[in-house]
Structure 1
Amino acid sequence: IWTTTPWTIPANQAVSLNPELEYSLVQVDAGQGAERMILATEMVEGVMARWGIEHFQVLAHCKGADLEHLKLRHPVYDRQVPVILGDHVSLDAGTGAVHTAPDHGMEDFEVGKAYGIGTISLVQADGTYTSAAGEFAGVHVYKADGPVCEALQREGKLVHSEKFRHSYPHCWRTKTPLIYRATPQWFISMDKNNLRADALDAIKGVRWVPSWGQNRIEAMFEQSPDWCISRQRTWGVPITLFVHKETQDLHPDTGALIEKAAQAIEKDGIDAWYDLNPADLLGSDADQYEKVTDTLDVWFDSGVTHESVLRTRPELGQFPADMYLEGSDQHRGWFQSSLLTSVGAYDEAPFRTVLTHGFIVDGEGRKMSKSLGNVISPADVVEKYGADIIRLWAASADYGQDISVSAEILERTSEAYRRIRNTFRFLLGNIFDFEPGEAVPFDRMPELDQWAMTSLAGLVSRVGASYDDWKFHQVYRAIYDYCVTDLSAFYLDVIKDRLYADDADSDSRRSAQTVLAEMLTALVRLVAPILSFTAEEVWRFMPEPLREGVESVHLAGWPTLEVPQARAAELAEAYGVVLDVRDEVMKALEEARNAKAIGKSQEARVVVKAAEDVRSVLAERGTEELAAMFIVSAVEIEPSTDGLLSVDVLPAEGEKCPRCWNYRPLGASGLCARCDDVVTR
């Protein structure tokens, strides 16, 4: 056998083989004369090389299953141990024969239990061997490797030993090596009263976000062993039980005793149990029973918050909770313990929805650590950027996986925030003279404004659905793309001419302002759950009539926007074509600008050559409307000879109007007809 923990050899009670692996009987001289050893066939040559043995002979082969129940002699003590079978035996390291000590390993404990092999408890709570360990009695296990190896050498059982680096469990807090030691504990059975089956049924009635959370927790419950709820600690919630000193059976009046202990703890605190004289509760039985000093698993503590928090505080709403939210590691922790205690007590889950998120890592995907110097303090980010930048960064990430953060990522988030904030500044700045009573009805709006209204309605619908699905990164992406693509790069750019050059009270300008007001009142509500402080600031700067007397955006309710659905579908299809053409026009204008053929886009007229279906859509809009949308002085539409879309950029005809900068025929006033009419009024 092979082990990295010689100190566990005294507790050996079996040797495990894999039933499906092939084993070889090997004749060899390892320094003790001719011997015959059983090794996994695939490992023979590697083992011989490690031991420095050049000459050996394989005599026979068999399956591991053929050796089950074979009796072996313990290498130190005068007793026999059996060969048992376990799937945990692999060819990753060692010899294919695994030293098995149920006292000191989970796999050893489980495979031993299958063969009726229990624990022998040779190691005490202080880490030293008991007298039952013979020559090792009183030796601390940390110092036992040497004495054990010496005993093996003395008995002629040590074939080879060496020091090498390998993985070993350590305490996460003190960084010291751990000792696995089997001890008596209290358990909640997963199957005795159908707790496992009932919990699996309850899982199906819960909404899991992301959806893979359901598969994960179901797999855990299907494989979960009985729940060990006891701990040996000097602090914590006590397990208020009395057990018989000889039989360890529970006191027959346990239920009533637990209630009395609970009343004492409610009055005097946790120490009431530890200070309690058993005779005060047990009377004459006190001589036969002892007080349990174990404490509850802290996951049991947190797992009953549905009782200690929700059920005892009606003001919090209800039981079950709307949502439990934690990191993805809590499927095995809080979510599982809460579900078990609630199903066990009330036959239902304690939550309607469970949302899990990944963990924060640095820009390279590494865990944050002071030693690596990659920790980013939220307080520093708030100091530099403001709290809403952290909120926007958190919302922009897909929390279904680990979330990266770095100075570069925060800079990008800050830039995204700036673009959203600038959108609000534009909206606020261009409705300064607008009153809700001046709003233009949808059916009287120019077509572009109707499209903008339907686009906004689509955004409200998508964002609402994403919030309902807890997909905050989709909320962020939808709002950001809307502000940058639909608004800044298109609609807001196009309507500047109407806002700044049309008559202040004209229907065209009021229509644009109507749309801007709708955008403002909807967007500020949509971003409020994420950009809470910015939204509140925007709300305070909004014209009073648009706030309708509501003090805070967080009290304003969710936006609703109704548009004719048939018209919305028609415009979405048409403007899909228009915007594709506009993209090509923008590229052509940029190329002309780079070639110094034009300066501003108003200095150009464009000739769009397209297939019949595209020309038909463009013609329905009209060349004047297209010129406004393309921000050029004129648009001409011609057939495409090859069926492909192309754009020619030519110098604009006419002269530059000094007021609107468009190229038009100028009148006696030196202005274009539109500007002359506005100025004359």
Structure 2
Amino acid sequence: MEYKKTLLMPKTAFPMRGNLPNNEPKRQEKWEEMNVYAKVQERTKGRPFFILHDGPPYANGDIHMGHALNKIIKDFIVRYKSMSGYHAPYVPGWDTHGLPIETALSKKKKVNRKKMTVAEFRELCEKYAREQINSQRQQFMRLGVRGDWWNPYITLNKSYEAEQIKVFGEMAKKGYIYKGKKPVYWSPSSESALAEAEIEYHDKRSGSIYAAFKVVDGKGVLSNSDELVIWTTTPWTIPANLAIAVHPELDYNVVAVGGRSFVVASGLLETLKSELEWSEAKLTKTVKGSELENIVCRHPFYDRNSLVITGEHVTLDAGTGCVHTAPGHGEDDFLVAKKYGLDVLCPVDDKGVMTEEAPGFEGEFYDNINKTVSEKLEAAGSLLKLSFITHSYPHDWRTKKPVIFRATSQWFASIADFRDDLLKAVGETEWIPAWGETRIHNMVRDRGDWCISRQRVWGVPIPVFYGEDGQEIITEETIQHVSDLFREHGSNVWFEREAKDLLPEGFTSEHSPNGRFTKETDIMDVWFDSGSSHQAVLKERDDLSFPADLYFEGSDQYRGWFNSSLSTSVAINGEAPYKGVLSHGFVMDGEGKKMSKSLGNVIVPNDVMKQLGGDILRLWVASSDYQGDTRVSDAILKQVAETYRKIRNTFRFLLGNLHDFSPTRDAVNREEITGVHKFMLVKLNELIDKAHKGYNSYDFSSVYNGVRNFCTVELSAFYMDLAKDTLYIEHADHPERRMIQTVMYDVVVALAKLISPMLPHTADEVWENIPGVEEESVQLTDMPDALEQGNVDGLRAHWSAFMDLRDDVLKALEVARNEKVIGKSLQSAITLYPNAEKRALLEATDGLKKLFIVSKATVAKEGETAPANAQVFEGLAVVVEKAEGETCERCWQVKKSVGEHTEHPTLCAECVETVSKHYASVEL
């Protein structure tokens, strides 16, 4: 007879293998067809806003693992908020201006920009940027990130540029914008000024020189035989030297060495004796730095003076305490020299080539003259020591080449004018991790004025006109007019028209009596572009709100987007553009090394999705401790894929055993659920609470671990295992079977919702296979709330204690299996010898043989002593024996009743009754 026909085995269309690389794109097409983003927004309209404002990635090249980590976590947050009481639209954005696109056109596309107008070249830049946006958009969407992808914000869009002009105008109106000549980071390789956010530090080998400047007018304090000793690691700046700075409060020693008389800081004398090999240095005099002020030295090889000045920036950290000062090549140098009316000499051009202001070096690249400078110093008797050091040095973050400080005429935003407001806004913002507040507070506190001008063409022009007298013209009228022009024509109009055609009709100015105007040719720093998004996006779009609830980007953005957005928003709005800021670390390889093509350790998101699927990549993100640096490798992804397989199999088992279940027809009243089944609902409640806490605190790994443990430990290793007998063997409407199915239904519905932010493709696939659900997608539901169960402390305590006892029994069964006493656990009969506490626990628990998955479970009578072959645990002894009887063909349990019924000789009495009563009409 075929008794299989009487078993209610699992049935489901939910496959064991997800085949994610092939099936996810099909599901995404379905989401597009149903316009799931719009449906989510419509469903949640009217709820409180939760706005995660997207920091725009740069539109150039394929996405990398850092992009994937960033966008996926944003998707976790937005999806969860949409399912937990908020209206959470997500508008992605792109940063599109700047040098990389200019370079890509020149190098990759072989565009000769010299053969075209600026406007023509900019049109090619825009075309290239939009191609990159389309490519990256498809890759981000392939990750499963839900958003308003066909209506994003783009910094080159006309409306965005128009609003950016208004931000500039408002800052100018408040007096925060000014033009001045001062040293800024200058990249000879990019031929442009850079902001602090565009600087990164790498090791560089530099010449280290000690040189002596002879006194020519000692002002009665020093003699003309004395020499001030300076130290520098930029010998190429010696041609620009105009002064020597000393600290007014420090003591300075005059020491006689080998027939010469040198002046150095007292606190550095012993170090310098060793460094300069002064075996004999006789102290002849000590003076305060303030006494040295206005003493005149002579430049070592030019016919000009070098004035001794005082400055608080001089320290005893290194050097000599006498600081070589070139006002055109250092911020401290510039500021202190300004007090003394010194010129800002900067004999280096845009390309880093020395000009005729540095006689003897003109036409040479700055970094190539270090040797010649040293030779001239030596010839003049000035060079005391030349060596080489490797030190951390600023580099251009795009070209990866060294930068210099160079005094040029630039546009600045005066951070100092509203620094207190910035610091106040920092303190009013929630920073996660907490150290983020200290980091950005210190950056704002120590930040100099922001250089916002760039000497490039691909960007938003600085909307300034110049009168015939050279005076800058920025008025509310001109700003509004330029903004309107950009909104209609885009910023290219600035390069297509003459200045007079960019001004309001009939515009006049006292600075141009003849009506002739010119226009600024510099563009704005790209950080001003993206830093204006709070105005151009949050305030301008009807589907968003200001300030954003959250900004979330990499930790490098404390000096970048977090900072520029804060500066522009506080300047024009008086508050931060965000209520909270969350940051993540960088993605490293499996050994914690930076990924690079040369090392061959690069993991590419597109490759991972082609091999494993987007949900595996998302699960890796969920498992990571993303607030620090995160590791990824093929081995790590393989482990994550194995976890996914276990979670998926759990869903398949749950769905398979709900094939004949209708939640409206078959569900048991939750108040009537008892015993271990109620305990599983308690465990489900614990998972729901843990998941809510994890999602709300952005601790996604706790959600991941909670779901993984619930699926593999609570369900697979326990509840599903013990439920099989009842689910398969009992008749369809057996009360305990329906009770189990009710629990499993609650579990699978809750689990599908809980994993939906992390595994949206899988969650939707699960949702399609759950009986009785009405919504077409789990994305159109809310997160589960914990089920009302009253006081469950006693239940939790009982079953937690029982699970510990069960672990001991399972260990005993495993030992018996290894010793060949039994095969499968159903072949065993166990006898338990508990102490008083565990006896009470066992006597209060029904269905012991099902819970232990054995054919017979007996609790020895009180006072019985365990035999010698018992396995002993704390408070419990267990005897495992082979069960007496034969194995029932239908329920696989070993029972003495097998063979007693002539019509069904291979069945036990219980199965005979079930078959006879419920399957009499089934042809066996």
Is the shorter-chain TM-score for this pair beyond 0.5, marking a shared fold? yes
Q: Which residue of 2 aligns with 1:483?
A: 711
Deviation at 1:145, TM superposition (A): 2.2
Closer, same or farther: CA 593–96 of 1 in aligned 2, 3 Å: farther
Q: Superposed, which structure 2 residues align to 1:104-123 within 5 Å?
A: 104-109=329-334, 119-123=344-348
Closer, same or farther: CA 49–342 of 1 in aligned 2, 3 Å: closer
Q: Which residue of 1 aligns with 2:628?
A: 401
Which structure is richer in relative contact order (CA contacts within 8 A, separation 6 or more)? Answer: 2
Counterpart CA distance in 2 for 1:607 and 1:114 is: 95
Q: Which residue of 1 aligns with 2:814?
A: 590
Does structure 1 retain, via aligned residues, the 8 Å contact 2:249–2:290?
Answer: no
Counterpart CA distance in 2 for 1:636 and 1:63 is: 96
Deviation at 1:301, TM superposition (A): 0.8
Counterpart check, 1:321 vs 2:548: yes
Counterpart CA distance in 1 for 2:562 and 2:642 is: 37
Q: Superposed, which structure 2 residues align to 1:376-415 within 5 Å?
A: 376-415=603-642
Note the residue ranges of structure 2 that are not aligned, 5 or more in a row: 1-229, 867-871, 918-924
SS class of match (1:542): coil
SS class of match (1:196): helix
Deviation at 1:392, TM superposition (A): 0.9
Q: 1:288-342: CA deviations, max 9, x gaps?
A: 864322221111111111222233321x332333432221111221122222222
Counterpart CA distance in 2 for 1:579 and 1:76 is: 87
Moved more, 667-676 or 491-500: 667-676
Deviation at 1:259, TM superposition (A): 1.9
Counterpart check, 1:184 vs 2:400: no
Q: Which residue of 2 aligns with 1:365?
A: 592
Deviation at 1:482, TM superposition (A): 0.6
Q: 1:555-577: CA deviations, max 9, x gaps?
A: 2332234232303x222222221
Deviation at 1:399, TM superposition (A): 1.5
Counterpart CA distance in 1 for 2:719 and 2:695 is: 26
**Equivalent residue for 1:268, pick from 489, 510, 530:** 489
Q: Which residue of 2 aligns with 1:468?
A: 696
Q: Superposed, which structure 2 residues align to 1:374-453 within 5 Å?
A: 374-436=601-663, 437-453=665-681
Q: Superposed, which structure 2 residues align to 1:142-221 within 5 Å?
A: 142-163=367-388, 165-192=390-417, 195-221=418-444
Deviation at 1:25, TM superposition (A): 4.5
Does structure 1 retain, via aligned residues, the 8 Å contact 2:354–2:361?
Answer: yes
Q: Which residue of 2 aligns with 1:7?
A: 236
Counterpart CA distance in 2 for 1:130 and 1:25 is: 37
SS class of match (1:2): strand
Q: Which residue of 1 aligns with 2:784?
A: 559
Does structure 2 retain, via aligned residues, the 8 Å contact 1:608–1:645?
Answer: no
Does structure 2 retain, via aligned residues, the 8 Å contact 1:588–1:647?
Answer: no
Q: Which residue of 1 aligns with 2:574?
A: 347
Counterpart CA distance in 2 for 1:232 and 1:523 is: 55
Q: Which residue of 2 aligns with 1:660?
A: 891
Counterpart check, 1:84 vs 2:338: no
Counterpart check, 1:630 vs 2:852: yes
Counterpart CA distance in 2 for 1:416 and 1:148 is: 64
Deviation at 1:678, TM superposition (A): 1.9
Closer, same or farther: CA 236–27 of 1 in aligned 2, 3 Å: same
**Equivalent residue for 1:223, pick from 446, 451, 456:** 446
Closer, same or farther: CA 238–79 of 1 in aligned 2, 3 Å: same
Does structure 2 retain, via aligned residues, the 8 Å contact 1:327–1:357?
Answer: yes
Q: Which residue of 1 aligns with 2:257?
A: 28
Does structure 1 retain, via aligned residues, the 8 Å contact 2:465–2:520?
Answer: yes
Deviation at 1:406, TM superposition (A): 0.2
Does structure 2 retain, via aligned residues, the 8 Å contact 1:634–1:652?
Answer: no
Deviation at 1:604, TM superposition (A): 3.5
Closer, same or farther: CA 612–108 of 1 in aligned 2, 3 Å: farther
**Equivalent residue for 1:331, pick from 541, 553, 558:** 558
- Identity of paired residues, percent? 41
Deviation at 1:165, TM superposition (A): 4.8
Deviation at 1:40, TM superposition (A): 5.8
Note the residue ranges of structure 1 that are not aligned, 5 or more in a row: none
Deviation at 1:168, TM superposition (A): 4.1
Q: Which residue of 1 aligns with 2:82?
A: none
Moved more, 407-416 or 343-352: 343-352
Counterpart CA distance in 1 for 2:567 and 2:278 is: 58
Does structure 2 retain, via aligned residues, the 8 Å contact 1:129–1:136?
Answer: yes
Counterpart CA distance in 1 for 2:241 and 2:432 is: 46
Query: Which letter maps to 2:892?
Result: W
Query: Which letter maps to 1:468?
Result: N
Query: Which letter maps to 2:666?
Result: E
Does structure 1 retain, via aligned residues, the 8 Å contact 2:808–2:873?
Answer: no
Does structure 2 retain, via aligned residues, the 8 Å contact 1:328–1:358?
Answer: yes
Query: Which letter maps to 2:849?
Result: A
Deviation at 1:536, TM superposition (A): 1.8
Moved more, 20-29 or 1-10: 20-29
Moved more, 128-137 or 583-592: 128-137
SS class of match (1:381): helix
Closer, same or farther: CA 600–109 of 1 in aligned 2, 3 Å: farther
Counterpart check, 1:679 vs 2:679: no
Q: Superposed, which structure 2 residues align to 1:598-609 within 5 Å?
A: 598-608=822-832
Q: Which residue of 1 aligns with 2:327?
A: 102
Moved more, 458-467 or 666-675: 666-675
Deviation at 1:140, TM superposition (A): 4.1
Q: 1:343-402: CA deviations, max 9, x gaps?
A: 222233323433322121111111111111111111111111111111111111121111
Closer, same or farther: CA 510–179 of 1 in aligned 2, 3 Å: same
Counterpart CA distance in 2 for 1:672 and 1:117 is: 107
Counterpart CA distance in 1 for 2:338 and 2:896 is: 98
Counterpart CA distance in 2 for 1:455 and 1:202 is: 43
Deviation at 1:509, TM superposition (A): 0.8
Counterpart CA distance in 2 for 1:260 and 1:673 is: 93
Counterpart CA distance in 1 for 2:365 and 2:468 is: 29
Counterpart CA distance in 2 for 1:428 and 1:643 is: 38
Closer, same or farther: CA 620–16 of 1 in aligned 2, 3 Å: farther
Closer, same or farther: CA 558–68 of 1 in aligned 2, 3 Å: farther
Does structure 1 retain, via aligned residues, the 8 Å contact 2:813–2:880?
Answer: no
Q: 1:468-508: CA deviations, max 9, x gaps?
A: 22222221111111101111111111111211222332101
Deviation at 1:650, TM superposition (A): 2.4
Closer, same or farther: CA 643–149 of 1 in aligned 2, 3 Å: closer
Counterpart CA distance in 2 for 1:230 and 1:553 is: 49
Q: Which has the higher helix share?
A: 1
TM-score by length of 2: 0.66
Deviation at 1:531, TM superposition (A): 1.2
Query: Which letter maps to 1:397?
Result: S
Closer, same or farther: CA 302–148 of 1 in aligned 2, 3 Å: same
Query: Which letter maps to 1:583?
Result: D
Query: Which letter maps to 2:475?
Result: T
Closer, same or farther: CA 388–601 of 1 in aligned 2, 3 Å: same
Does structure 2 retain, via aligned residues, the 8 Å contact 1:603–1:652?
Answer: yes
Deviation at 1:14, TM superposition (A): 3.8
Does structure 1 retain, via aligned residues, the 8 Å contact 2:268–2:316?
Answer: no
Moved more, 3-12 or 106-115: 106-115
SS class of match (1:498): helix
Counterpart CA distance in 2 for 1:103 and 1:39 is: 24
Closer, same or farther: CA 219–63 of 1 in aligned 2, 3 Å: farther
Does structure 1 retain, via aligned residues, the 8 Å contact 2:255–2:285?
Answer: no
SS class of match (1:535): helix
Deviation at 1:636, TM superposition (A): 2.2
Query: Which letter maps to 2:241?
Result: N
Moved more, 181-190 or 648-657: 648-657
Moved more, 642-651 or 589-598: 642-651
Moved more, 658-667 or 390-399: 658-667
Closer, same or farther: CA 520–233 of 1 in aligned 2, 3 Å: same
Counterpart CA distance in 2 for 1:443 and 1:594 is: 42
- Give the superposed CA RMSD: 3.2
The alignment of Structure 1 onto Structure 2 pairs a total of residues equal to 664
**Equivalent residue for 2:459, pick from 219, 232, 236:** 236
